[in-house]
Amino acid sequence: MPYRHSARLPRTRTALLLAVVGALALLLAGCGRAGSPPVKGPKGSELPQYPVVKNFRLPSSPTWVAAKRRGHLIIGVKEDQPYLGEKDPATGVYTGFDIEIAKMMSAALGFPPRTIQFRTIASANRETALQNGQIDLYVGTYTINDKRKKLVGFAGPYYMAGQSLLVRTDEHDIHGPQDLAGKRVCSAAGSTPYQRIQSEYPKAVLVAYDTYSVCVDNLLTYQVDAVTTDDAILLGYAAKVPRELKVVGKPFSEEPYGIGVPRADNALRFALDDALAVNEKNGNWKKAYDATLGLSGVLAPEPPPIDRYPAT
């Protein structure tokens, strides 16, 4: 991974930062120092099992019918968001709360979770991926909003996040979005947090990358002053290197996470709403949360009410 450094940074500090970034990269990769397990991470034994619904059929869903013919689902996710969607580069295995939601949905639709083909898709490419059939579903910190509903459908929400700010622990001037004037703020292209800073805090100097992990690298190397996105995502990065990073202030938006589906596939959307309701009721949702996102330090909330909006 390339890292840029300011020429003004003293050598020793640069070396320290490189070490920190390297350690973070390893932690994010979920593969600490040789022989040592990751600091905190989902333990297979604590994760719920999702029994596959036998003889499930959904002939009115073109997405389901195509997946059935193929034999498995293709699900778009993130791969660099701690406790939400993380890919182990050594094994290729994905873990996190979003991944658990994807597995629940797969089982409910009659496909064994182990057969899911995960595909990493960045925030800016989600709608296109669903529209052109590259993926069947998307589960990756995907905020439901009216603008996106014109392009895709959303089951859920299955979690309520809120926009926040991540800064270095040596930062003392930024406590909320009101303090961002003249500060370099990094977020992911195509995300709602990026758009909110652009429209509501125009004095901030916005920097966009494809992913939040690149923003975090830039924060640790003093290239930017803050990273902004959902609290759920930022708390995960902070939990990995608590001596270097902290989340400040209160969440300043509502980000209801939905499962993205092709817009016209109402049958699929309703089947996923039903599956979410079942898993919230039988305790799987909470078990999955506790074993994944709960590790970033926030106790399981009540899941938000499912918004089963009429067929489009």
Task: Classify the C-alpha dihedral 289-291-292-295 as positive or negative.
Answer: positive
Q: How far is the CB of 248 from ligand GLU (least distance, A)?
A: 18
Candidate list 38, 41, 193, 260; residue touching ligand GLU; CB under 6 A: 193
Q: How far is the CB of 92 from ligand GLU (least distance, A)?
A: 21
Q: How far is the CB of 162 from ligand GLU (least distance, A)?
A: 10
Candidate list 152, 166, 167, 188; residue touching ligand GLU; CB under 6 A: 188
- Name the E strands within 133-214: 137-138, 152-161, 163-168, 184-188, 205-209
CA-to-CA dists, residue 174 to 48, 110, 112, 170, 248, angstroms: 39, 48, 46, 11, 8
Candidate list 61, 95, 164, 191; residue touching ligand GLU; CB under 6 A: 191
Q: How far is the CB of 149 from ligand GLU (least distance, A)?
A: 13
Residue closer to ligand GLU (CB basis): 13 or 119: 119
Q: How far is the CB of 127 from ligand GLU (least distance, A)?
A: 11
Candidate list 86, 217, 255, 273; residue touching ligand GLU; CB under 6 A: 255
The answer to whether residue 141 forms part of the interface with ligand GLU (CB under 6 A) is yes
Output DSSP code: residue 283.
T
The answer to whether residue 192 forms part of the interface with ligand GLU (CB under 6 A) is yes
Which of 54, 52, 61 lies closest to 114, judged by CA? 52
Contact stretch for ligand GLU (CB under 6 A) within 14-22, 54-62, 106-114, 189-197: 189-197
Question: Are residues 225 and 237 in contact, defined by beta-carbon separation less than 8 angstroms?
Answer: no
Question: Which positions ≥6 away from 46 have C-beta within 8 Å?
Answer: 287, 290, 291
Q: How far apart are CA 20 and CA 35, in angstroms?
A: 19
Residue closer to ligand GLU (CB basis): 127 or 171: 127
The answer to whether residue 142 forms part of the interface with ligand GLU (CB under 6 A) is yes
Indicate the SS3 state at residue 209: strand
Residue closer to ligand GLU (CB basis): 108 or 122: 122
Residues numbered 101-140 forming contacts with ligand GLU, rule: CB under 6 A: 123, 140
Question: Are residues 193 and 214 in contact, defined by beta-carbon separation less than 8 angstroms?
Answer: no
Q: How far is the CB of 59 from ligand GLU (least distance, A)?
A: 31
**Tokens standing for residue 14:** 């640069």
Q: How far apart are CA 264 and CA 296, in angstroms?
A: 36
Residue closer to ligand GLU (CB basis): 30 or 256: 256
C-beta atoms surrounding 45 within 10 Å? 6
The answer to whether residue 229 forms part of the interface with ligand GLU (CB under 6 A) is yes
Candidate list 80, 171, 179, 230; residue touching ligand GLU; CB under 6 A: 230
